[in-house]
Amino acid sequence: MAKQVLQSTINGEPVEVLVQPYETLLDALREELSLTGPKEGCGTGDCGACTVHLDGKPVASCLMLAMQARGRSVSTIEGLSDNGTLHPLQDAFVRHGVPQCGFCIPGVLMAASALLAENPSPTEEEIRYGIAGNLCRCTGYTKMITAIAEAAPATAALRRA
Amino acid sequence: MSTMKTTRDVKGVGLSIPRPDGPEKVTGRVQYVADIKPRGMLHAKLLRSPHAHANILRIDTSRAKAYPGVRAVITAADIPQLKKKAPTRAHAVLAIDRVVFVGQPVVAVAADELSIAEEALDLITVEYDVLPSSVDPIASMQPGAAPVAEAGTKADTSEALAHSAVALAKSDTGPSKAVNVSQQARVQRGDVAKGFAESDLVIENTYHVPMMHQGYLEPHAVLAEWDTNGLLTLWASTQGSFNTRSEVADVLEIPENAIRVIPVECGGGFGGKIRALCEPITAVLARVTKRPVRYVMTRREELEAGMPAPEVIIRLKTGVKKDGTLMALEADTILDSGAFSGTVLAVSAVFLGSMYKWPSFDIRGSEVLTHKPSVAAYRAPGAPQTIFAIESQMEQIARALKLDPVAFRQRHLISEGDPMVNNQPWQSNGATEVLKRVAEHPLWKSRAEWVKSNGGNGTKRRGVGMAIGGWLGGLQPTGATVRLNPDGSVSVLTGQVDIAGTNIALAQIAASAYGIDVDRVRITTGDTDTAPMTGLSAGSKTVYTVGAAVLEAAQDARRQTLEIAAAEMEASVHDLEIEDGRVVVRGVPDRAMTLAQIGKKGNLYMSKVQPVLGVSRPAFTKQAPGFAAQLARVEVDTETGEVTLRDFVVIQDVGRAINPLAVEGQMQGGSVQSLGMALTEGLLFDPASGRLTNPSLLDYRKLTAADLPNIETIIVEVPSPAGPFGARGVGEPPIIPAPAAIANAVQDATGVRITELPISPERVALGVLAQK
């Protein structure tokens, strides 16, 4: 099969790259664009480690073909911080000691930032459901929930700015 | 070991300091094996057996070999070192003549692209003669069952020794003549028959815990490359780079110093990444192709053919007097090891009989081989399963005798000096203190109110349950160095793989022991070429043993620093102190040298001052048991059988919390893994075919944030005599009690006693129905 040209906006930059027609968005990001922040934990959409934003909505990039992102906007964990300044969510995750093995963290942060974009001041239960598609095996989620709740006001302020 | 006094507190032990690699992890910059891609790298795939037990009649790889982009296709015949009687799973690199579990690797492929390697697998033909299989462990022990191991294969007991340094007397253990029983153990004390005869209450149950996958989110991955001199480099996701090096060297029959294992960031292990799995075959593919080769397992391969925790079946019979006096305990434990030996039989026996002071006991254990993936460690291997049995049993005794469950346990709980079942004395531990904190907890004290609070209406019933469990604590010789740099900063080097945040704790230990703020300490995990020999990140022993090495090395470096300063300043070493990055003479504030001045002298051309290099390589033998109790408030829907967890508390003796933030993270994470065992997890094998029926994370349910409340942590500090600053192991105790705590809470709520995990809605609802 011949490769196809994928044109899309990735982390705010226009990108043009050759991909296989059967290649997933996750593989294209990781293998063709060296954006290895999104992880493959299962390849079947069950663990959330590959979560990225497609036009601002969280998606499992392992369940999409790369070509489905044609003409659309994709954001990965690499695009969450602003020129070296940690996003309030990232900063809160560090301070609360959330990352242990760290493998789930990029996906959780993308799910959490999508949640806060839609619901700037979620309740604990809304946060729990907001990241229910992301498995974490190290933390037990408690510190994650605290960090997301704490980062919500600063994230809202950042969006207004 | 003694801890040196400093005149002022430095920023070090006891502070909640976030791990310094946090920013790398939250930005997605940190690299795992699957993120590394050297030029010319090939991708590996394995063709795995679809049968639980079959003879391999013929393998045809010709079409795969001819496929464009395929660089190597190999079978066992291409690896002359392989032996039919593989002593471990790692040695069974590819199947020879016979497959013994579904998912066993048969043919390996390396290709330019992953998709080409996948295509190539479809072009390989393997003809099998399917044989009868032994899938269920009980059936596998019966006469006439299909044999799993090649006759004469030795049992592998290294796992038990690595994890908890528990050993039973030699005469107690040995192979059995029964088919597929690969190890047996028995411990006895007193007259059990007499004990039961004199008992007023005898309770007997059979507890059943399925195989479970550790569930580390990063699947196994390795990248292998050989240089032209025959030196092998492995970038590995491992819990112990030196162990990986030894196993690969042993399997491939090459010298250990011809292998360099670089421990890449490990995306979780929990015991599943101790033993070698895919490293040898990837190294072989790299050798054959003379190219770097990367192999990453899929989640399905992990679930079907990883190294899960064993299935455990425990028949437990206890006898007590009316007043609660313990009389006798008898148990038969069966651990299903899958297709290769390697369970922790001794751990199970120790915890069944050693938690409480039973005057007589007879505990028999058998390790059984079946045609399933072979097992490995899973966080406190054997302990959650065993504690599920004994703590469920203690609860039933207390309820039957109308005794307070905590007070009943307190009366019989072991303390320092009491003999374990193997007659070794219990080391100093905080079990009593942990149980006391359960009794004092508001959730426990208000349990009657909680049970009543549903108003007696509808189908919901509420209950409270608790359980306590322990871990003996692992030991392993280890090494560390501490250097003073020319700018006065300090560098610590070990080979310790940091998964949970242990490196920051080790740096804090170095800071406090040397007398410098932790901001001035940098710790590095070296590879097997550069780091001193370091043990596994397993057995809850990183801070306990590597921490001790770092402590001693930092004390050594401090001593050297003070000696240099004493000579330079013509002062007595006893009058010197390290303060604010300077060595000062006590009481003479202007007589001082900076650490940078001392560090520089050790690195100056023509200098006569030796560089500061603190070294330690302890191999101590004293374990530090760690105990944790858990307390759960549940709500049970008696119609659907659904158990909702409302509140959960973990109370744990950690000796000394070197970094409370990291300790809480361990307690919360361990608790949720324990709750997963209790409520949802289990590998389900079809007993006829041996195939896994739930090979995805949709069907093998791990707990999500939406399933859980916040996990409350209560840190108890009963210092260990030998640990650095009194620390004990932290990682394993919190995974132990929840299955029993939840089962006890469900009984409190509904009267239903669940003896098989997971405590699924189906089991609870059926239990409720059976009561009617």
User: Residue ranges of the domains in chain A?
Assistant: 4-79, 88-160
Q: What is the pLDDT of residue B169?
A: 47
CB contacts of B269 in chain A (<8 Å) are 101
Contacts of B500 in chain A (CB under 8 A): 100-101, 138
Contact B73, B109 (CB under 8 A): yes
Cis bond upstream, residue B20 (ω within 30): no
Average pLDDT of span B756-767? 98
Span B462-480, pLDDT tens digits: 999 999 999 999 999 999 9
Query: Confidence class of residue B85 from pLDDT cuts 50, 70 and 90?
Result: confident
pLDDT (mean) for A121-130: 98
Are B299 and A43 in contact (CB < 8 Å)? yes
pLDDT value of position B150: 80
Asked if this assembly's ipTM is beyond 0.90, the reply is yes
Same domain, B143 and B83: no
Sign of CA dihedral B433, B439, B442, B444: positive
Return phi, psi of residue B550, to 5°.
-65, -40
Residues of B in contact with A36 (CB under 8 A): 28, 31, 34-35
- Looking at residue B194, what is its pLDDT? 98
Range B262-295 burial, b when 16+ CB lie within 10 A, else e: bbbbbbbbbbbbbbbbbbbbbbbbbbbbebbbbb
Interface A–B counts its CB contacts (< 8 A) at 179
Reply yes or no on whether the pLDDT at B5 is more than 70.
no
pLDDT over threshold 90, residue B772? no
Largest CA distance in chain B: 90
Q: Do A97 and B18 touch (CB under 8 A)?
A: yes
State the CATH number of the domain containing residue B111: 3.90.1170.50
Contacts with B30 from chain A: Cβ below 8 Å: 102
Give the pLDDT of residue B454. 77
State how far residue A139 is from chain B, nearest Cα, in angstroms: 4
How do residues B330-377 score in pLDDT, each as one tens digit? 999 999 999 999 888 888 889 999 999 999 999 999 999 999 999 999
CATH superfamily of A4-79: Beta-grasp domain (3.10.20.30)
Residues B641 and B510 in one domain: no
Instruction: Say which residue, B458 or B529, is predicted with more confidence.
Output: B529
Q: How far apart are CA B412 and CA B415, in angstroms?
A: 9
- Identity of the amino acid at A26: L
Domain co-membership, B383 together with B416: yes
CATH of the domain at B607: 3.30.365.10
Work out the minimum CA distance from B273 to partner chain A, whole angstroms. Answer: 13
List chain A residues with CB under 8 Å of B268.
100-101, 103, 137-138
In a domain, B648, yes or no: yes
Q: Which residues of A touch B706 (CB under 8 A)?
A: 128-129, 132
Split at pLDDT 50, 70, 90, the class of B4 is very low
Q: In whole numbers, what is the pLDDT of chain B averaged over residues? A: 94
Same structural domain for residues B142 and B155? Answer: yes
Q: Does domain A88-160 have CATH number 3.60.70.12?
A: no
pLDDT bin (cut points 50, 70, 90) of residue B458 is confident
Q: What's the number of domains chain B is made of?
A: 4
Beta-strand ranges (E) seen in B21-94 are 42-48, 54-60, 70-74
Nearest neighbour of B298 by CB, restricted to A43, A132, A146 = A43
Interface mutation target, options B25, B301, B630, chain A, most CBs of A under 10 Å: B25
Same domain, B678 and B771: yes
If asked whether residues B258 and B114 sit together in one domain, one would say yes
- Nearest C-alpha of chain A: how many angstroms from B582? 30
Dist. CA A150–CA B683, nearest whole Å:
37
The domain boundary, picked from B616, B631, B659, lies at: B616
Q: Look at chain A and count its residues.
A: 161
Instruction: Determine the residue among A101, A104, A123, A126 to mutate to test chain B binding: the one whose Cβ has the most chain B Cβ atoms within 10 Å.
Output: A101
Assess whether pLDDT exceeds 80 at residue B113: yes
**Model confidence band, residue B665 (pLDDT cutoffs 50, 70, 90):** very high
Q: Which of B597, B616, B635 is the last residue of a domain?
A: B616
DSSP assignment, residue A85? B
Among residues B456, B608, B473, the alpha carbon closest in space to that of B535 is found at B473
Same domain, B506 and B574: yes
Q: Is B752 on the interface with A (CB under 8 A)?
A: no
The model's pLDDT over B555-580, given as tens digits with 9 standing for 90+, comes to 999 999 999 999 999 999 999 999 99
- pLDDT confidence bin for B41, thresholds 50/70/90: very high
Q: Are residues B570 and B608 in the same domain?
A: yes
- What is the model's pLDDT at position B171? 43
Whether B543 has a pLDDT exceeding 60, the answer reads yes
* pTM of the predicted model as reported, rounded to 2 decimal places: 0.96
Q: State which residues form the domain around B414.
A: 134-208+310-420
pLDDT at B276: 96
Local structure of residue B413 (DSSP, 8 states): B
Is residue A97 left, alpha or beta, with left meaning phi > 0 and alpha meaning psi from -120 to 50? left
Q: Are residues B151 and B42 in the same domain?
A: no
- Looking at the fold, whether B258 and B362 belong to one and the same domain comes out as no
Confidence category of residue A84, pLDDT binned at 50, 70, 90? confident
For residue A140, what is the nearest residue in chain B, using CA coordinates? B669
Q: What is the mean pLDDT of chain A?
A: 97
B637 in a domain, yes or no?
yes
Using a pLDDT cut of 70, give the percent of chain A over it: 100
| Structural domain contains residue B366 | yes
| B residues 655..714 contacting A (CB < 8 A) | 661-662, 664-665, 668-673, 696-698, 702, 704-706, 708, 710-711
Chain B residue closest to A33 (CA)? B35
In a domain, B639, yes or no: yes
| Run of H or E including B333 | strand B326-336
Please check whether residues B450 and B480 belong to one and the same domain: no
Q: Confirm whether B358 is domain-assigned.
A: yes
With 90 as the cut, is the pLDDT of residue A82 above it? Answer: no
pLDDT at residue B8 in the model: 53
In a domain, B9, yes or no: no
CB contact under 8 A, B268 and A101: yes
Catalytic residue list of B? 732
| Residue B732, in any domain of the structure | yes
Is B315 in the same domain as B436?
Answer: no
- Among B30, B500, B705, whose Cβ lies nearest the Cβ of A128? B705
Under 8 Å between Cβ of B71 and B110 = yes
* Phi/psi at B135 (5° precision): -105, -45
Q: B347 lies in a domain?
A: yes
Q: Give the Cα-Cα-Cα angle B370, B374, B376 (nearest 5 degrees).
A: 135
User: Does residue B164 have a pLDDT over 60?
Assistant: no
By the CB < 8 Å criterion, does B25 face chain A? yes
Angle value at C-alpha B715, between B710 and B717, nearest 5 degrees? 175
